[in-house]
Homo-oligomer: A and B are copies of this chain.
Amino acid sequence: MIRLGILVASDKGYKGERTDESGKLIMELFSRSEYEIVEYIILPDEREIISSNLCRQADHLDIDLILTSGGTGFSPRDVTPEATLDVIQRQAPGISEAIRQKSLEITPLAMLSRGVSGIRNQTLIINLPGSPKAVRECIEVIAPVLPHAIDILKGQTGECARK
């Protein structure tokens, strides 16, 4: 069972000026037997607030995988990658590279996504974009490797075939 946290960064979503679609889509896409959705929150685009909530989800809610949505772009308020870099201890650049590489096949705008991925203790944190369409595409890329990644991270599998 993978304990999943969903953290949406959106000023408008937080203030109720826009309905969050991306976070709900993540919930829907992970409503499978091997995942348990532990928390789904919408936060303003504030670096400190995002980073402290990432820590809370990782350290106190015992969450294995945090998927963020939003705040990865070029707007002055987009700070989700910075908040994530503040709390991860080990970077996992290959995940964000793979996401962007696949997304580039769909649109050149994918190169503007600044998302990062990394590990805090035994929690994997992955930044996803803010649009539902992009979220769906990104999850298709990462979903096949997530269970294996979490197993290794939790020390439940001694060996990895390739890493």
Residues of A with Cβ closer than 8 Å to B? 72-76, 78-79, 81-82, 89-98, 100-101, 103-104, 107-114, 116, 119, 122, 124, 129-131, 133-134, 141-142, 144-145, 148-149, 152-153, 155, 160-163
Contacts and interface: CB of A to CB of B under 8 A. Distances in A.
Identify the interface centre among A111, A141, A148, A160: most chain B CB within 10 Å of its CB. A111
Q: Please name the 3 residue pairs, one residue from A and one from B, whose CB atoms are nearest each other, closest first.
A: A73-B163, A98-B111, A74-B152
Number of chain copies forming the complex: 3
A163 B149 contact: no
A111 B129 contact: no
Contacts of A155: 75-76
Nearest to A77: B155
